[in-house]
Chain A
Amino acid sequence: MNYVIAIPLIPALAFAILAPLSGRSRNAAVPIAVGASVITLGLSIAAFLAVWPGGHEEALYHTSITFATIGSVKLAAGILLDPISATMLVVVTLVGAAVQVYSLGYMHRDERIGWYYAVLSLFTAAMLGLVLSDNFLQLYMAWEVMGLCSYLLIGFWHEQEAPRKASIKAFLTTRVGDIGFALALAVMYKTAGSFDFAVVLHDFAWAPGAATAVALLLLFGAMGKSAQVPLHVWLPDAMAGPTPASALIHAATMVAAGVFLVARALPIFEASGVALTVTMFVGITTALVGGLLASVQHDIKKVLAYSTISQLGYMFVALGAGGIVAGFYHLVTHAFFKSLLFLGAGVIIHAAHTQDMREMGGLAKKMPVTTVTFTIGSLALAGIFPFSGFWSKDEILTVLWHGEHYVVFVLALVAAFVTAFYVARLWFRVFSGPEQTSGLKEAHVEMLVPMSVLAAVTSVIGFGSPYFAEFLGHVGEWPAAAIALTSTAVAGLGLALGWWAYGRRNQVLNTRPLKSRAGFVYAALAQKLYFDLTYDYFIVRQYGRLAGALSEFDRTVVDGIVNGAGAIWRAGADVGALIDRVVIDGAVNGVATLVRAVGARVRRIQTGRVQSYQALMLAALVVLMLWFVVKGA
């Protein structure tokens, strides 16, 4: 089983080979990266198949290496192969390989394609290192490296203003969450004395107070990475990056890392209790906000981005209800169908030369493969039988129902309805109606094959849902008819509304009266519920002003106080008024001036004439002798 170690190392090696090369030879080395991703996929499937028969609770393979020793504490990096990590392996490498192959077609004209592949490889390595981690520290480190890759890929086309800004925004927003994660590690280390899953999650008995602290801090970290309200603002902007990168990082894997973290740490959340409720609350809020915002976007990628936010919220809801299987299963299905949708969106954007859905239409006739695969993805997202999204969403609803979270259950249904609505809105705008672009044609084959693979996966994995639950060590059940019918009905209703508004031939719904009647609501949605504006105004700008003010403060006051040595004590009483630059400089130069003044007087003695020195000596001698005489007498 030692080949498991190689799984994260192979893409890392690909990065190490590609990164130091010069631009042109790096571009030529792209096949290395693609090959690495395919090999990793093979190894991952092998590892998954090895875990599949039976190995439920116990890890099948576990190894670790110490990288830091502090007294008796050893910090180690480890590889832990259990059902959860094995599943994640396949998800990450399958989507990763699909994206890498797809990018051969999508990015082939870009002059920095080599760098793109290098970063993709590093990302894959970090993500695999994260899912295989056997401790929270390694998880955190891989987590941050992924953040770097996300930053680099969002800002890939950095010559333009928007990607540059979006990349910084993404990095800083997720890092706000990371403060929580880092502090969670500190609390964990102080209370449990370790970062290892084996100790923290199994052996250590958590007191509710400490558990709540750690769980909420971890949740905060997860909210940053998984774009949960109110830290979701970076994800829609992150769409400025290349579309396949969005498919991998901002839809399937990295953003799901937060969910993965909470799923891993679920025993701590359960020990706390409160933290579970908070998780559910955050999740359902995000699911609704994301869904509503997705419904008013015109940019196809932004619709998908908000949809991702909303679906991640769904996963948090499931975890908050204690349904690790449901949440985790939705993570898996969502990874496949959402990356499929993003890859499809990439094809659509290439063909239509725009991201604005209002300028698209009629793609179905010219692009059959894309249409079919995209439709499969859409139906999965809407939650229609038999596609994967139906099964996982159903499990989440079941968990909520059995957990007697009825309010959340209803809200989740509302979110499902909204989801179906914006899916229909997207689909009809893009694929039906009159053609608005000339020269539409189907994409390259290396783009279509990965999409077809993902579509096939999306179509069939739903039927594995009860087996998957058993694989994770829980009781597997087929969906209960009542809940399945309810959710299908709600989804169908949403699709129907979407069709009524956007899909009817000749008659696209005129939304103007609606907008004018509910002006405030619409304005709020169009302004992304004011999150961005609030942050920009109250945090970003204020920080800039504060920094400027502090800089002035430093230049005048602090420098002044320090320079004016004695002034320190006085300063406490009247900072600002008394201590200005004049006083300070005076004090600084005071010492020098004093020395100089003394020197100016003393120098007069130094005439440079030998004889005046002699006279001085004589005089001194006489005085000395007089002294002796007087004293002697």
Chain B
Amino acid sequence: MAFWRTPLDAQEIQVTRGTVCIIDDRCKGCGYCIAFCPKDILQFSDKFNRKGYHPPTVTKPGECVNCHYCEIICPEFAIYSVETDSAAASK
């Protein structure tokens, strides 16, 4: 994220990391999670699910910040994110 002035505590802020889980067979391919992901890490996959829709797939797995927005905007209960262990994600 670009800052006009770097916040004084920028070094101390812990950014949480998440893992996106997708339940493919519930998806109806509306694309809301893809359009509104703040990190743009989702896109339609090439494969079909059981109903013939293209579910989303994660393109940059390490960049999810666990904001849960895909989870709360999904009308189908098909996507959610879980927090990954902060020690492992901070590298």
Query: Is the pairing of A and B real?
Result: no
A interface residues (Cβ-Cβ under 8 A, vs B)? none
